[in-house]
């Protein structure tokens, strides 16, 4: 049943209007808070309580802080103001269009955050792995990640023709949007593959470490958590 018809029928029948925006904010905001606290403490501790200077991986991950704050405000304040957490048929048309517009913007922020995290981890690898062959692999992975970002940046922009058809496709405006399934699967699949590769790189170097096998297992688990 179309959402407009369902809106009319359910309101006429006095069906309860469900609003779970509070639960949505609670679930969605928690990871942002935890991530910002962890990254902030890492940078503060290294800058003021150790002799080490902030390295490239620290500066790169620091860039993610303003992006994460913007994403948190967008997904928890702006989205809920435009219907997130409510049944879609209870959201008026203008708010629904606004939600889609902000969703379009969020796609770029999410892509940026994912790329920044991977680049920070790769910069950390460059700092701890001196072997030339490994460093070449790392630089190649950095180039691949940048290519991944640029490719999906433009694919996201031009997923609909015209571009604003992404959020105006329901108001009768002529245009076309490509199928989101293959796009999402390709982006997700490549991201997962890169994460696995980011785990393989340090694990391949464990045999060079002069550690007991128990400590090597702990190091492997540490990298596994970092790339998850």
Confidence of residue 70 (pLDDT cuts 50, 70, 90): very high
| pTM exceeds 0.75, yes or no | yes
* Predicted pLDDT of residue 1: 41
Q: Return the domain boundaries, the chain.
A: 18-227
Number of other residues whose CB lies within 10 A of the CB of residue 184: 10
Of 208, 206, 189, the C-alpha closest to 221 is 206
* Predicted pLDDT of residue 122: 92
DSSP three-state, residue 210: coil
Bond before 72 cis per omega within 30 degrees: no
Whether 7 contacts 89, CB under 8 Å: yes
Q: Is the pLDDT score of 34 beyond 50?
A: yes
């Amino acid at each position: 049943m179309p959402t407009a018809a369902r809106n009319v029928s359910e309101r006429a029948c006095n069906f309860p209007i469900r609003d779970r925006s509070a639960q949505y904010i609670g679930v969605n905001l928690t990871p942002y808070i935890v991530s910002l606290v962890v990254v902030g403490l890492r940078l503060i501790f290294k800058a003021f309580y150790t002799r080490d200077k902030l390295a490239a991986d620290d500066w790169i991950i620091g860039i993610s802080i303003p992006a994460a704050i913007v994403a948190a405000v967008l997904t928890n304040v702006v989205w809920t103001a435009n219907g997130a957490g409510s049944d879609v048929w209870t959201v008026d048309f203008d708010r629904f269009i606004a939600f889609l517009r902000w969703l379009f913007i969020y796609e770029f922020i999410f892509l940026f955050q994912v790329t920044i995290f991977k680049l920070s981890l790769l910069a950390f690898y460059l700092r701890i792995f001196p072997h030339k062959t490994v460093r070449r692999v790392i630089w190649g992975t950095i180039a691949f990640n940048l290519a991944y970002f640029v490719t999906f940046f433009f694919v996201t922009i031009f997923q609909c023709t015209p571009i604003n058809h992404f959020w105006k496709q329901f108001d009768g405006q002529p245009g076309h949007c490509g199928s989101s399934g293959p796009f999402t699967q390709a982006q997700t699949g490549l991201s997962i593959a890169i994460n696995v590769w980011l785990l393989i790189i340090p694990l391949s170097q464990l045999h060079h470490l002069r550690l007991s096998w128990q400590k090597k297992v702990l190091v492997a688990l540490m990298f596994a958590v970092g790339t998850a």
